[in-house]
Structure 1
């Protein structure tokens, strides 16, 4: 069985320490990983994870092309990686960069409205969703009790406007607000991943939410370097799911998600 971690961040070695520190400060957590590709791949020694969907977030428009070049290069170097492109709401020619990223072999797009300080349904991003609808899947950070940028209701508006947009509403559709995420999004055509969730929800509530969402659209993810992929895998697979459920959530759903365009 192919096991895919659908949510992992990597950074160039020269900036990885600063990037990891910044994420830790934003979320007020002690980060697990070094943020490098090498450290991510070390988790394969302790868990049977076959592949990782890797990405990074552009917190400024001028960072977009460099991030996409880096992710594409890492994917060429490591067959285990499936690369998703970065984009920023102020990038001057998103259509051209999407074309370039596709040419580089990148398979999707990652956005993080909270760190990019933009409403998920901002008109600048709505234009970008229109460009990738039916072509590239999107992983989008969803839900933060401290801001309104990524509130699930904004994603609902996006999904209604672009019914053929394939989306992973990361972190159970509502990081830190998973109940709201479920209430707002469970009737929508959307995937969710479990990254950065289990440590707060606990085993019982994680299991309940997975069953509420349904195993056909839940995907395993670690949110490396915030957490250890091997530990997250061990935790997730110990929750009492059936073999059929695990086969879907550990790989089959991610394969459908990545290949949906």
Structure 2
């Protein structure tokens, strides 16, 4: 069985220490990893994780193309990686860059409204979603944070209703740090085959029993395993999930098939 970590961040070696420190400061947590591609691949030696959906966040417009070049290069070097492009709300020509991302072999787009300081349903991002829908690019959207309104799940409702064919990962159970709020707001509009959720950065806070309960509330045909590396240890996140009490069929979906469907890939 393949195992896909559907939510991992990597950075160029030169800037990885600074990037990891910034993320740790943003969330006030002690980070697990060094944020490098090699650091992520070490997890394969400690758990049966076979593939990773990798991305990075562009906090400025001028960083977009460099990030996309970096992610594409890492995917070429490491067949275990499934790369997602960066985009930022002030980028001058998102259509051209996302078309270039497709040509580079990238499979989707990652957005983080809180660190990018933009409402998830800002008109500039609504243009990006329209392009992604047209190109068939799935979007990972950081969703929810009790400290901010940028990524509130009610904004995702607007996006999903506006773009009926857009494939979305409402990351962190649809509302990081307020997980039940995500379910209450999103579940009516999200119960279809184009809306997925990953459980990254959630198990530590929820515990195993509540992770199982919330996953089954959403449906084990839409929840994806994710580590949020370098914040958490992918191997430990895998062990915590696989000992939580899911059935073998449920785990096969959570660890493998759901991420394949979300990213539009087939892995062995």
TM-score range, shorter chain: over 0.9
Displacement of 1:234 in angstroms is 0.1
Distance in 2 (alpha carbons) for counterparts of 1:63 and 1:219:
28
* TM-score (ref. length: structure 1): 0.99
Q: Distance in 2 between matches of 1:177 and 1:121?
A: 19
Match of 1:179 in 2: 180
Cα RMSD for the two superposed structures: 0.8
How far, CA to CA, are the matches of 2:171 and 2:125 in structure 1? Answer: 17
Deviation at 1:186, TM superposition (A): 1.3
**What secondary structure, in the 3-state scheme, does the structure 2 residue paired with 1:59 have?**
coil
- 1:229 equivalent among 215, 221, 234: 234
CA distance in 1, matches of 2:247, 2:187: 22
- What secondary structure is seen at the aligned counterpart in 2 of 1:186? helix
User: Which residues in structure 2 correspond to 1:60-79 (within 5 Å)?
Assistant: 60-79=60-79
Structure 1 residues without counterparts, runs of 5 or longer: none
CA deviation map 1:149-193 (0-9, x unaligned):
000000011000001000000000000011110011112131100
Mapping of residues 11-30 of structure 1, within 5 Å: 11-30=11-30
Separation of aligned partners in 2, 1:241 and 1:69: 38
Q: Does 1:163 align with 2:168?
A: no
How far apart are residue 2 of structure 1 and its match?
A: 1.0
The size of the alignment, in residue pairs, is: 260
CA distance in 2, matches of 1:202, 1:191: 21
Give structure 2 stretches of 5+ with no counterpart: none
1:107-149 deviation line (CA, Å, top 9, x unaligned): 0000000000000000000011001115100000000000000
* SS, match of residue 133 in structure 1: helix
